[in-house]
Amino acid sequence: MPIEITMPALSPTMEEGNLAKWLVKEGDTVNSGDVIAEIETDKATMEVEAVDEGTIAKIVVEQGTEGVKVNAVIAVLAEDGEDVSAAASTASSQVPMQKATPKEATEEETKTDKPTPDAPVKLEINSGSTSHHTPQNGGSNRVFASPLARRIASQKGIDIASITGSGPHGRIVKSDVENFSPSAQPIGAVSGGVSTASSMPDDQVLGLYDADSYEILPHDTMRKTIASRLTQSSQTIPAYFLSMDCELDALLALRKDINSAAPVGEDEKPAFKISVNDFIIKAMALALRDVPMANASWTSTQRILHKHSDVGVAVAIPDGLITPIVRSAETKTLSAISNEMKDLASRARDKKLKPNEFQGGSTAVSNLGMFGVSNFTSIINPPHASIVSIGAGEQKAIVKDGALVAATVMTVTFAFDHRVIDGALGALLAGAFKNYLEKPAGMLV
């Protein structure tokens, strides 16, 4: 009698998994304990061993298939002496073949007008969605989406039910997820019964005020872009925050010595004047070099590990904000960083930066210390996976070697994208950054 091989529960909480790879093929003989497949869960890829002996009569679920429910039949085993063809035929009549939607599937491959024998209909029905999206399917609460679309949405942290499908019969396909922007939802759109609108409609807001008590300032392109990107960031990036106090006395002393030693040109101006922010940029760059797994960006299918520390620096411009990037900052001297930042900031305020000078990078520095701000948190600017917020250096009483002494202390707060940088990794990066600020001579090597 044919033996059904089912999707195993590899953890107590596992409800479904991805059949990543078959290590056997139909017709292969297997023994108890043989590794026959690799299953992906949300945490790891694990091997599956055969429990019984026999011949693989039928592979029911192709490798690459996602969202396979626990206990679903994935293959059929013919016992020793049993007719393999008969077992395969019986399996085919009872459990239809479920094929994968490959990860590299094109939009045309995922857009099908109606279910076909090759479409993973069963897996789609049992995908486990509990959203209250109302598709065009006669009032059913089930969300129609391709497995590829579901995977991309899950990786981006997007509620699949909040996306409008462009495929046949409202089916959500890959391009719908990739082009989805939470900020693009119509006013009053709801998700899980809670309004996601950022504000009331314009006419309702204006109706709250006397007509002569305000003036209208239309959004320019920059304001719209800032609003869209930061709204998207706050709604889609699972950010967490770490704060540290850093002592600056050694850094301030070194800065004074370096600036006093700067050569003076014919115009009687020093060749450079290093700021505390220049030290901060350099420290962040070296910390990323020392903790390379944190020097990364998130995409829907992969992480990008950067080979250099490209550090963005938030620069305030009239009615806006822009983040020019110091490329390969870990390789540059403090004086080079200082002069480059002065040039970038000047051209940023004049809106003369080239796109490659403010696009990309993996992290950013936002410094409000010069405004007397003690500490604050910043919103991560994709594709960055981190940003550090710099407060003012303040004289504080601290305990050192058992004695109470005065020190210049600055609070720094990191925001990390948890999809890329886990807590321990973020702490390592923050610790490396603090070490460079408190022992700044290491930045001169």
Among all residues, which ones are annotated catalytic?
A: 418
Residue 439: CB atoms within 10 A of its CB come to 14
Q: Which amino acid is present at 28?
A: D
The residues pairing with 191 across neighbouring beta strands, listed in sequence order, are: 194
Residues 137 and 114: their CA atoms lie apart, in Å, by 12
Residues 36 and 6: their CA atoms lie apart, in Å, by 12
Please, are residues 238 and 415 in contact by the beta-carbon 8 Å criterion? no
Q: Which amino acid is present at 190?
A: V
Q: Which amino acid is present at 188?
A: G
Residues in contact with 195: Cβ distance below 8 Å, sequence separation at least 6, in sequence order: 188, 189
Structure tokens at 60: 């029911």
Residues in contact with 82: Cβ distance below 8 Å, sequence separation at least 6, in sequence order: 1, 2, 54, 55
Residues in contact with 123: Cβ distance below 8 Å, sequence separation at least 6, in sequence order: 65, 66, 67, 68, 69, 98, 147
- Give the CA-trace dihedral at 80, 82, 85, 86, to 10 degrees: -150
Establish how many alpha carbons lie within 13 A of residue 386's alpha carbon, considering only the half-sphere containing its beta carbon: 31
Q: Which amino acid is present at 435?
A: N
Element (DSSP H or E) covering residue 324: none
